[in-house]
């Protein structure tokens, strides 16, 4: 298990007898929180991906498409170059990320409402454009910032599940479970929306309310994830897409299965990222991208061969 070698037998005896030893603390203070965070964030990002893909009826939409990650990144960048962290403590980094994300969510949302109707296509376009603007702003900040700040920014943007703050881990876990429960209120609505907005209305779905609540839900899940762990790409795109191919388009099982497989996938990727060139660690986003992308292309090409 990582650079600290603990066998299975040792593991059992650790749990029961050796509280307070170094191995015990590695296991429960470093590894366990990281696994819980991985589960929470992998689940949250995949869930956000499924919801947004269902909402936009577009399989290429992912949680970061709407500029939410850009907003969070900008918040963190500003925090780092103004050195708020030293004054406000470690929690200010995720906090500023979250504020940035919320601000962008609000902006995208209000720019896309025309005459009381949330225009889905405009939401997408506005989000993509805001993403570009934000990433340019981040580049601008990086270009004029000090070397040591630059390192902090890059480290954050690459994304990592190493989060020392137990409170944030618990919060993230709570948010993602709550998000999953909440999403189930809309499982039929998402199925109905797959036929188009007008058809969903014919099936008695309050389309306007559903669109708004689902957008806010997906945004919050993404905002929380990005602020806690930085930008971990690909999970929210590839896992939902993969599950759609595997189990079909019924959101009643798609929501939970994407959540679970996203959670498992991210923990797996993180374990690889930690161990593959240990004692050094790779950014987990590198693994999610390479592994997720390769599996996806493999599955897609196999599927095309069959048909």
Partner 1 sequence: MKESILEIKNLSCGYDSQIILSDINLTVERGRLLGIIGPNGSGKTTLLRAITGVIKPKEGNVFFENKDIYQIGLRELAKKIAVVPQSIIVNSITVEEFVLLGRIPHYKRFQFLETKKDQEIAKKTLELTDTLKLKDRSILEISSGERQLVLIAKALAQEPKLLLLDEPTAHLDIGHQIKIMNLIKKLNEKEGLTVLVVLHDLNLAGQYCEELVLLNEGKLIRQGSVNEVLNYRDIEKVYKTTVLIKENPLNKRPFIILFPPKGMDE
Stretch that binds partner 1, among 85-93, 200-208, 217-225, 283-291 (CB under 8 A): 200-208
**Shortest gap between Cβ of 204 and partner 1 (angstroms)?**
3
Stretch that binds partner 1, among 71-79, 130-138, 192-200, 266-274 (CB under 8 A): 192-200
Contacting partner 1 (CB under 8 A), which of 195, 247, 276, 297? 195
**Shortest gap between Cβ of 220 and partner 1 (angstroms)?**
22
Stretch that binds partner 1, among 1-9, 147-155, 181-189, 213-221 (CB under 8 A): 181-189
Q: Residue 202, interface with partner 1 (CB under 8 A)?
A: yes
CA-to-CA separations, 74 to 83, 89, 297, in angstroms, rounded? 14, 18, 32
**Shortest gap between Cβ of 243 and partner 1 (angstroms)?**
13
Stretch that binds partner 1, among 60-68, 86-94, 172-180, 201-209 (CB under 8 A): 201-209
Q: Omega before 237 cis (within 30°)?
A: no
Closest by CA position to 59, among listed 183, 236, 272? 236
Q: Residue 303, interface with partner 1 (CB under 8 A)?
A: no
List CB contacts of 4: < 8 A, sequence separation 6 or more. Answer: 22, 23, 26
Q: Residue 206, interface with partner 1 (CB under 8 A)?
A: yes
**Shortest gap between Cβ of 199 and partner 1 (angstroms)?**
6
Contacting partner 1 (CB under 8 A), which of 107, 249, 286, 293? 249
Quickly count: other Cβ atoms within 10 Å of residue 10's Cβ.
Answer: 14
Chain centroid to CA 140: how far? 25
Name the DSSP class of 115.
Answer: T
Closest by CA position to 80, among listed 143, 146, 153? 153
* CB nearer to partner 1: pick between 203 and 216: 203
SS3 114: strand
Contacting partner 1 (CB under 8 A), which of 103, 113, 125, 187? 187
Specify the residue for token string 């390769």: 294
* CB nearer to partner 1: pick between 11 and 184: 184
Closest by CA position to 225, among listed 285, 168, 279? 168
Q: According to the 3-state scheme, what is the secondary structure of 199-268?
A: HHHHCCCCHHHHHHHHHHHHHHHHHHHHHHHCCCCCHHHHHHHHHHHHHCCCHHHHHHHHHHHHHHHHHH
Stretch that binds partner 1, among 21-29, 78-86, 194-202, 265-273 (CB under 8 A): 194-202
CA-angle at 92, arms to 90 and 93, nearest 5°: 80
**Shortest gap between Cβ of 252 and partner 1 (angstroms)?**
5
Interface residues with partner 1 (CB under 8 A)?
57, 184, 187-188, 191-192, 194-196, 198-199, 201-206, 244, 248-250, 252
């Amino acid at each position: 298990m990582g650079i600290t070698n603990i066998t299975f037998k040792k593991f059992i005896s650790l749990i029961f007898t050796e509280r307070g030893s170094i191995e015990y603390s590695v296991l429960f203070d470093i590894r366990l929180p990281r696994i819980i965070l991985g589960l929470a964030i992998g689940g949250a990002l995949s869930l956000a991906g499924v919801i947004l893909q269902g909402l936009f009826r577009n399989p290429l939409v992912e949680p970061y498409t709407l500029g939410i990650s850009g907003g969070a990144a900008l918040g963190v960048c500003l925090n780092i170059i103004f050195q708020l962290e030293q004054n406000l403590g470690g929690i200010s980094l995720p906090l500023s990320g979250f504020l940035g994300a919320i601000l962008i969510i609000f902006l995208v949302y209000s720019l896309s409402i025309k005459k009381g109707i949330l225009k889905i296509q405009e939401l997408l376009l506005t989000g993509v454009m805001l993403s570009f603007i934000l990433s340019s702003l981040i580049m601008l900040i990086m270009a004029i910032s000090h070397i040591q700040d630059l390192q902090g920014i890059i480290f954050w943007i690459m994304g990592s599940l190493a989060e020392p703050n137990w409170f944030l881990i618990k919060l993230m876990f709570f948010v993602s479970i709550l998000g999953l429960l909440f999403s189930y209120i809309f499982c039929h609505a998402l199925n109905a929306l797959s036929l188009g907005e007008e058809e969903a209305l014919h099936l008695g779905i309050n389309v306007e309310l559903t669109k708004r609540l689902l957008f806010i839900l997906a945004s919050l899940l993404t905002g929380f994830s990005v602020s806690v762990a930085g930008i971990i790409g690909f999970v929210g795109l590839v896992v939902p897409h993969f599950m759609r191919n595997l189990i079909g388009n019924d959101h009643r099982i798609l929501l939970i299965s994407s959540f679970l497989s996203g959670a498992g996938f991210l923990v797996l990727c993180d374990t690889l990222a930690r161990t593959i060139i240990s004692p050094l660690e790779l950014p987990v986003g590198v693994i999610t991208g390479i592994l997720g992308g390769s599996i996806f292309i493999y599955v897609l090409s196999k599927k095309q061969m069959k048909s």
